[in-house]
Amino acid sequence: MKNILAELITIGDEILYGQILDTNTQWMSIALDKIGVRVIRRVTVGDEAEIILKAFEEAEARADIILITGGLGPTSDDLTKPLLAKYFNSGISMHPQALAEVSDLFARMGRELTELNRQQAALPEACTMISNTLGTAPGMWFERGKKVFVSMPGVPYEMKSMMTLEILPKLQQFFTTPIIYHRMIKTAGIGESWLADKIQEWEVQLPLHIKLAYLPTLGQVRLRLTATGTDLAELRQDVAQEVQKLLPLAGKYIYGYDQDTLEGAVGNALKETGKTIAVAESCTGGAVSKLITSTPGSSAYFQGSIIPYHNSLKINVLHVAKETIEEFGAVSEQTVIEMANHVRTLMHADIGVATSGIAGPTGGTPEKPVGTIWIAYADGEQTITKKLAYAKDREININLTCIAVLNLVRQNLEVNMEKKLG
């Protein structure tokens, strides 16, 4: 089956100048992917007639579907409608249904219809109107041969509503689309190239209709499997089979799939095992706690935290022995061992974790340079410590430490991730 290809054109100086973050194209990409349409290009251009017309032409040569957002406002710098009329050799005239809908919208808001807004109901005769239930600019659907152009407002909620209610169903009707199935495998605790080494054999034996991509983020690597075919159930099964083969090679680094987060995986593992956690964090200054509590419902397993930033509080509030800090320093294995165990007891938690280190950019010494961080995990039966050695950036050091702490908890909860395979 031939792939159906789409190109997304965004029109507007405000996007090019960086005054607005474009979140529309990501949303559209995901929505199109789900109906088996492959986005092959995104283009953003400014409010200039010739450049926009050229972009239409280039897109028509490459793609089957051209989705255009922006440039539909009522003012003179909004060019999309007249340019589409020109591109499709079409006159523009008042569209009775569009006029009725915009009049109705203004009536509901208790406002008078201005002439500028009335003119938004005039549409190219060559197009089919797409209703805009949330704003004043209707969408426009054009067909030429086997290609479709659709123009929508750039306002995110208006675009999303039009796509969902009318455009996606119309596209599925117009084209016969292949099925594309994605599965994201999420890992922590291993770098991209080490992971690639470990799973090399598995990667080369993947069937031709399943493709692998490495998507690294800070401290984590995601593996994306993309299967293309005609039967969703079959694709799901094929991918699940490949994931099964992957588990013996990399299972201990895999914390979840698709929308799962590491903090969510830790939360689920705590819930499943019925355990609670408390945190004593020094150099991370609240970042570990913030991550844990970013998950709704975390009050079921998160007891609380102590952030003894000043050393005297490590002693007075967290009861780390004064001698420990004097002999080994606040950034030491001995100190985090006491911190993790004491916060666990003090907060009546099953598990205590601790961080102490030099986040930077200052405070380093030759023996303990910036980026030297100790972490500890204690559960009453065992205490596990780990020394981390990162680079100079404060924010990165804090974020990497959070991931290391959460991953340490996850690994020790020994939840068998295999049973989570959907």
Query: Which positions from 314 through 343 interact with a second copy, judged by CB under 8 A?
Result: 317
Closest separation in Å from C-beta 362 to a second copy: 7
* Cα pseudo-dihedral 107, 109, 112, 116, rounded to 10: -110
* Cβ atoms of 401 and 220 closer than 8 Å: no
Residues 231-260 that bind a second copy (CB under 8 A): none
Q: Say whether residue 361 binds a second copy (CB under 8 A).
A: yes
Q: Which residues contact 256 (CB under 8 A, 6 or more apart)?
A: 186, 262, 264, 265, 417, 420
What the block records as the tokens of 91 is 């006159």
Looking at 170, 182, 252, 319, which residue binds a second copy (CB under 8 A)? 182
- Do the bridges between strand 179-188 and strand 220-229 make them parallel or antiparallel, or are there none, so unpaired? antiparallel
Looking at 3, 29, 172, 228, which residue binds a second copy (CB under 8 A)? 29
The region of 165-173, 243-251, 292-300, 375-383 touching a second copy under the rule CB under 8 A is: 292-300
- Kindly tell me which of 91 and 296 has the beta carbon lying closer to a second copy: 296
What the block records as the tokens of 284 is 């991370």
Q: Say whether residue 66 binds a second copy (CB under 8 A).
A: no
Looking at 292, 315, 339, 353, which residue binds a second copy (CB under 8 A)? 292
Residues forming a β-bridge with 184? 224
Amino acid at the residue 117: N
- Kindly tell me which of 77 and 414 has the beta carbon lying closer to a second copy: 77
Task: Determine the Cα–Cα distance for residues 113 and 95; give it in Å rounded to an integer.
Answer: 15
- In the chain, what is the straight-line distance between the N-terminal and C-terminal CA atoms, in Å? 27
Closest separation in Å from C-beta 77 to a second copy: 6
Amino acid at the residue 159: M
Closest separation in Å from C-beta 183 to a second copy: 12
Buried b (16+ CB within 10 A) or exposed e, 168-187: beebeebbebbbbbbbbbbb
- Kindly tell me which of 18 and 422 has the beta carbon lying closer to a second copy: 18
Residues 369-398 that bind a second copy (CB under 8 A): 371, 389-396, 398
Residue 378: helix, strand or coil by DSSP? strand
Residues 191-220 that bind a second copy (CB under 8 A): 191-194, 196-197, 213-218
Closest separation in Å from C-beta 419 to a second copy: 25
Q: Say whether residue 49 binds a second copy (CB under 8 A).
A: no
Q: Say whether residue 347 binds a second copy (CB under 8 A).
A: yes
Q: Say whether residue 155 binds a second copy (CB under 8 A).
A: yes
Q: Say whether residue 294 binds a second copy (CB under 8 A).
A: yes
The region of 38-46, 236-244, 331-339, 404-412 touching a second copy under the rule CB under 8 A is: 38-46
Task: Determine the Cα–Cα distance for residues 138 and 102; give it in Å rounded to an integer.
Answer: 9
Residues in the chain: 422
Task: Determine the Cα–Cα distance for residues 195 and 200; give it in Å rounded to an integer.
Answer: 8
- Kindly tell me which of 90 and 399 has the beta carbon lying closer to a second copy: 399
* Cβ atoms of 87 and 127 closer than 8 Å: no
- Kindly tell me which of 107 and 240 has the beta carbon lying closer to a second copy: 107
Buried b (16+ CB within 10 A) or exposed e, 242-252: bbeebbeebee
- Kindly tell me which of 128 and 133 has the beta carbon lying closer to a second copy: 133
Residues forming a β-bridge with 383? 378
Whole-Å CA distances, 159 to 18, 31, 80, 164, 261? 20, 12, 15, 9, 28
Which residues of 131-219 form beta strands (DSSP E)?
139-144, 147-152, 179-188, 210-217
Closest separation in Å from C-beta 90 to a second copy: 25
Closest separation in Å from C-beta 53 to a second copy: 14
Q: Say whether residue 64 binds a second copy (CB under 8 A).
A: no
Angle between the 80-87 and 49-62 helix axes, to the nearest 10 degrees?
A: 50
Residues 101-140 that bind a second copy (CB under 8 A): 105, 108-111, 114, 116-117, 133-134
- Kindly tell me which of 52 and 127 has the beta carbon lying closer to a second copy: 52
Q: Say whether residue 178 binds a second copy (CB under 8 A).
A: no
Q: Say whether residue 174 binds a second copy (CB under 8 A).
A: no
Looking at 4, 11, 28, 99, which residue binds a second copy (CB under 8 A)? 28
Closest separation in Å from C-beta 14 to a second copy: 5
Closest separation in Å from C-beta 126 to a second copy: 26
